[in-house]
Amino acid sequence: MFLETMLLTFKVALITTIVLFFIGIPIAFWLSATKSRLKPIIETIVSMPLVLPPSVIGFYLLIFLGPNSAIGSFVENWFDIRLVLSFEGILIGSILFSFPFMVHPIQSGLQSLPKSLIEASYTLGKSKLQTLTYVQLPNIKNSLLTGIVLTFAHTVGEFGVVLMVGGNIPGETRLASIAIYDEVEALNYNLANQYALTLFTISFSILLLVFIINRKFSGILR
Amino acid sequence: MINIDITKSFKNADFHFKAILKDNSLNALFGKSGAGKTTLLRLLSGLETPQNGKILVDNKIWFDFEKKINLPPQKRDIGFVFQDYALFPNMTVMENLKFAQSKIDTNFLKELIDIVELGEVQNKYPEQLSGGQKQRVALARAVAKKPKLLLLDEAFSALDNSMRIQLQNDIKHIHQNLNLTTLMISHDIAEVYKLASNVLLIENGKIIKNGNPNILFENSQISGKFKFSAKIIKIEKADTIFIVTLLIQNNLTKVVATLEEIKSMHVGDDVLVASKAFNPIIIN
């Protein structure tokens, strides 16, 4: 039971991180380069999960993805996937909720690069995509790593959204953070401690690793 | 031939640039800071868009407001040397140069590396280089794809004198070898005389003169047999007169001056040294 829950927790975190990595880069790139009037609106939407109570997001996901909603019933009828109280559901919730943790570091990394690097690449005949791939991203490895780790760690630590959207189904949507709450309610302090200590240790190690690596990177930028 | 006639307005400055750059010419853009030198380079490169006018390069349109044509920097066939070098930190010297070429031309890369004497550092990263080396990499990278037009934005500003002279020689060398039409910003009259065949004198957003380097002194009333541009290095008092030490190209010369003349001179000024009734002796 313990192992199953921990594995599920890391599975959700891993998939969320991978998905957000590939969605986050184009959005961060757009935000870092655009002069559009829409920018503040998009920035606000991306940042909302930072200030909203997780239960608010969870609540609206339940409403809009539930089997009685348009989206929920469409996906269920056509793909036979239920979007709430399911693994897919907590995945969507996690992706939305961890959005700013991936986008913000990458965006600020891109913005901190000297503009002349990008312009130099353009004058050398390279397209925006080539410039992003070969010049911008390789020079913000710090920020990419920060985005990946923060997203992963934040997803592991998520509680409210997952509980609202996923319920608490063992092996399907019960993640470690919920399991702790569950075990405490059942006065099962030993098991709760086992979960808590594991999460604590893993989070500590990941963050420590990031800070060590970032320190090395900041000396030599490549 | 490059035919420029463009305008651009900013909040507190209006620019109107009209000029013709001949093929394979080395042009110096000379003027005070704020006059619009960098803006002109950015407009030519496509990094900035003019509000009106045309840029024609060998009858190919780079920009035409009326026809709504505006080639992006990628399609303008230019080399741009940025003031801050803009070398890619994640690439070695060689990789920086290769990045500029869509088809790798190893022979030409070798030749370039030789011209700018970067053979020893070709596998180093930019942060491991000195300022002068970085500047030479930036120059080599800008010409690595053999552009039609080479633009140099204050390439020398951060260099000390010996590195300046080396880079000036590199530019001359590259210009002679590749026959690129070149437009370089310069603040230094001696440098303009040394390198440029043509000078664009720019003032308050307009090119007010376009011609051979002598136009820089056109206002002076002197018609001398000998004329050199020089920089004042030192002014010393000697009895009743003054001795002014001048740097002409790379040579130091001393010239006497009166108190009246000294009043308008300061160390660091660019001046003209001329001589009239004077029979020079040429010694071999």
For A154-209, what is each residue's pLDDT tens digit?
999 888 898 888 888 888 888 888 899 989 999 999 999 999 999 999 889 988 88
| Residue that the structure tokens 């660019």 belong to | B270
**Chain centroid offset of residue B19 CA:** 16
- Do B148 and B237 sit in the same domain of this protein? no
Nearest-by-Cβ selection for A117 from B86, B125, B141: B86
Quick check: is B280 in a domain? no
Does residue B247 belong to any structural domain of this protein? yes
Q: Within the 9-68 window of chain B, which residues sit less than 8 Å (CB to CB) from chain A? A: 45-47
Q: How far is it, in rounded angstroms, from Cα B20 to Cα B55?
A: 10
List, as one string, the DSSP characters of B203-241.
ETTEEEEEESGGGGGTT-----SEEEEEEEEEEEEETTE
Please report the sign of the dihedral spanned by the C-alpha atoms of residue B42, residue B46, residue B48, residue B53.
positive
State which amino acid sits at residue A207. L
Q: Check whether residue B195 and residue B149 sit in a common domain.
A: yes
**Backbone Cα Rg of chain B:** 21
Rounded (5°) CA angle B233-B236-B240: 145
Among residues A86, A53, A54, the alpha carbon closest in space to that of A67 is found at A86
A133 touches chain B (CB under 8 A): no
Residue B192 counted as domain residue = yes
The neighbour count for residue B123, using CB atoms within 10 Å, is 10
Residue B100 distance to chain A (closest CA, Å): 5
Please, are residues A147 and A24 in contact by the beta-carbon 8 Å criterion? yes
With CB atoms and an 8 Å threshold, state whether A125 touches B45.
no
Query: In B, which residues are within 8 Å of A134 by CB distance?
Result: 88, 99
* Neighbour tally for B229: CB within 10 Å: 23
Q: Does A4 touch chain B (CB under 8 A)?
A: no
**Partners of B79 in beta bridges:** B150
Q: Cα–Cα distance between B254 and A169 in angstroms, integer? A: 93
Residue A64 has pLDDT above 60, yes or no: yes
Taking only the tens place, the pLDDT of each residue in B123-151 is 999 999 988 899 999 999 999 999 999 99
User: pLDDT digits over A100-130, tens only?
Assistant: 999 999 999 999 999 999 999 999 999 999 9
Determine whether the interchain pair B78/A123 forms a contact, defined as Cβ–Cβ distance below 8 Å: yes
Q: What is the 3-state secondary structure (H, E, C) of B195-209?
A: HCCEEEEEECCEEEE
Q: How far apart are CA A18 and CA A24, in angstroms?
A: 10
Nearest CA in chain B to A220: B127
Is the CB of A139 less than 8 angstroms away from the CB of B127? no
3-state secondary structure of B186: strand
Q: Which of A124, A136, A141 is most worth mutating to test chain B (most B CB atoms within 10 A of its CB)? A: A124
- All structural domains of chain A, each given as residue ranges with its CATH number in brackets, are 10-174 (1.10.3720.10)
Report the C-alpha gap between B280 and A166 in whole angstroms: 97
Cβ of A138 under 8 Å from any chain B Cβ? yes
Among the residue ranges A15-29, A70-84, B99-113, the one predicted with the least confidence is A70-84
Domain termination residue (choose one: B217, B236, B262): B217
Residue A39 contacts B where some CB pair is shorter than 8 Å: no
Residue B91 lies in a domain: yes
Nearest to A122 among B73, B83, B88 (CB): B73
Rounded CA separation A111/B44 (Å): 25
Nearest residue to B17 via CA among B25, B26, B33, B29? B29
Cα–Cα distance, B118 to B205 (Å, whole number): 37
Q: Which of B177, B196, B217 is the last residue of a domain?
A: B217
pLDDT at residue number A221: 47
**Average of per-residue pLDDT values in chain B:** 87
B47-66 pLDDT per residue, tens? 999 999 999 999 899 999 99
Q: Given pLDDT bands bounded at 50, 70 and 90, which one contains residue A222?
A: very low
Place of tokens 């029979």: B279
pLDDT confidence tier of residue B89, bands split at 50, 70 and 90: very high
Asked if A218 reaches chain B (Cβ–Cβ under 8 Å), the answer is no
Helix (H/G/I), strand (E/B), else coil: B43: helix
Distances (CA, A) of A41 to A36, A46, A110, B111: 10, 9, 19, 52
B82 and chain A in contact, CB less than 8 A: yes
- Indicate if B49 and B100 belong to the same structural domain: yes
- pLDDT tens digits for B181-221? 999 998 877 788 888 889 999 988 899 888 888 777 665 55
pLDDT at A9: 92
Q: B125–A119: do the CB atoms touch at under 8 Å?
A: no
Token couple for A15: 């998939």
Pick the range with the lowest mean pLDDT from B12-26, B210-224, B256-270. B210-224
Task: Flag whether B282 is in a domain.
Answer: no
Residue B190 belongs to what H/E stretch? helix B189-195
Q: Looking at the structure, tell me whether residues B194 and B250 fall in a common domain.
A: no
Range of the domain at B107: 2-217
Asked whether residue B211 falls in the same domain as residue B235, the answer is: no
CA A37 to chain B, closest CA, distance in angstroms equals 20
A117–chain B Cβ distance below 8 A for any pair: yes
Residues B234 and B204 in one domain: no
Residues 111-140 of B with CB under 8 A from A: 125, 127
Average pLDDT (B28-33) is 88
Size of interface A-B (CB pairs under 8 A): 63
End-to-end Cα, chain B, rounded Å? 41
Check whether residue B245 and residue B204 sit in a common domain.
no
At B141, list the tokens.
């990278």
What single DSSP character describes residue A132? I
Closest by CA position to B82, among listed B38, B126, B34, B43: B38
Question: Percentage helix, strand, coil, to 5, in chain B?
Answer: 30, 35, 35
Closest C-alpha to B158, from B181, B183, B133: B133
- Could you give the maximum distance between any two Cα atoms of chain B, in Å? 69
Which amino acid makes up residue B66?
Answer: E
Query: What residues of chain A lie within 8 A of the CB of B88, using their CB?
Result: 117, 120-121, 134-135, 139
Q: Is residue B283 part of a domain?
A: no
Confidence bin at B227 (pLDDT 50/70/90): confident
Q: Which two tokens stand for residue A107?
A: 């965006």
For residue B85, what is the nearest residue in chain A, using CA coordinates?
A116
- What domain count does chain B have? 2
Structure tokens at A141: 């490895």
A222 in B contact zone (CB under 8 Å): yes
Residue labelled with tokens 């070429």: B101
Helix (H) or strand (E) holding B151: strand B149-152
pLDDT band at B278 (very low <50, low <70, confident <90, very high): low
> Cβ of B224 under 8 Å from any chain A Cβ?
no
Report which of B91, B94, B160 is spatially closest to residue B121, judged by C-alpha positions: B94
Q: Which of B189, B170, B83, B30 is nearest to A117 (CA)?
A: B83
Which residues touch B260 (CB under 8 Å, ≥6 apart)?
Answer: none
Looking at the fold, whether B96 and B18 belong to one and the same domain comes out as yes
Q: Both B125 and B98 in a single domain?
A: yes
Could you tell me if B144 and B190 lie in one domain? yes
- Among B217, B236, B258, the domain-final residue is B217
Q: Domain containing B13 — which CATH number?
A: 3.40.50.300
pLDDT of A139 > 70? The answer is: yes
Under an 8 A CB cutoff, do A120 and B86 touch?
Answer: yes
Domain-located, residue B172: yes
On whether both B188 and B254 belong to a single domain, the answer is no
Per-residue pLDDT at A14: 95
The answer, for B73 touching chain A at a CB cutoff of 8 Å, is yes
CB contact under 8 A, A122 and B72: yes
The pTM of this model reads: 0.81
Inter-chain contact B47–A122, Cβ cutoff 8 Å? yes
The reply to whether B106 and B9 lie within a common domain is yes
The strand pair at B181-186 and B26-30 is best described as parallel
Separation between Cα atoms, residue B49 and residue B62, nearest integer Å: 11
